[in-house]
Amino acid sequence: MLSRFFYHLKREFGFSRKESKGFVVVVPLLAILAFSPIAFEKVRNSNATESDENLDYVIDSLEKAGFTVVESPFPIQVPVDTLVSPGSGLKKIPFSQADSVTLQIVPGIGPSLAGRIIKYEHALGGFYTKSQIKDVFGLKPEVADRIWEYFDFDGEIRNRVPINTVTIEELAKHPYVSYGQAKVLIAYRNQHGNFSAAEDLLEIKIFEEDWVEKLKPYLTF
């Protein structure tokens, strides 16, 4: 079939066999080059639509948190300039109400880092000091300090550990307690009875006072 095509090219246009082969290669290439801008435009429009949807989702979450979208006063067409409170200035929301979307308003915090911050805060049960947030892996100190320019620290602990009923596996899930520490603590409780206060943990000689003080706000007796 290809030989017949070459024959027609030779008869109609006077192409040699070598010129006919070149023609077969060049024509499809030219067709690809001609249609590639159209395909590229479709892909770009598709990506733009997806980006707009993601932006709408972020803006919707921020508005639910109490922020208001403000258009830029400058002639440049910027659909969203900033997010401020209904009054003047930037409204801060309690950090305990933050999520992985609202945290991304802080410069230097992207989706991955925001997710790690929220996951760590939930595992703890809440922050009771500002400095605890600096324990999050990958969070730079200057970015951690910047968080409090956008969020109010409320020191709310939402979840506490019932130390006299918790299991080893449950206790070891807390970021401040290793599996080995959980085993020792539960073994001591089983042998000596329930704890009545955090200071009772110091009866276990391997536990240091600094560690007990750090864990104390998360315990119930």
pLDDT digits (tens, 9 = 90+) for 77-103: 333 344 444 444 567 889 999 999 999
Distance CA 150, CA 91 (A): 8
Q: Per CATH, the architecture of 161-220 is what? A: Orthogonal Bundle (1.10)
Q: What is the pTM of this model?
A: 0.61
Q: Which of 25-29, 56-60, 90-94, 126-130 has the lowest mean pLDDT?
A: 25-29
Q: Please state the φ and ψ torsions of residue 83, each to the nearest 5 degrees.
A: -130, 120
What pLDDT digit, counting tens, does each position of 164-219 carry?
A: 999 999 999 999 999 999 999 999 999 999 999 999 999 999 999 999 999 999 99
Residue 69 dihedral angles phi and psi, to the nearest 5°: -75, 130
* Residue-range domain boundaries for the chain: 2-62, 93-159, 161-220
Strand boundaries in the chain, DSSP class E: 68-70, 82-84, 93-94, 151-152, 161-162, 219-220
What is the amino acid identity at position 33? L
Could you write out the DSSP letters of every residue in 44-81? HHHHHHHHHHHHHHHHHHHHHTT-EEE--SSSS--S--
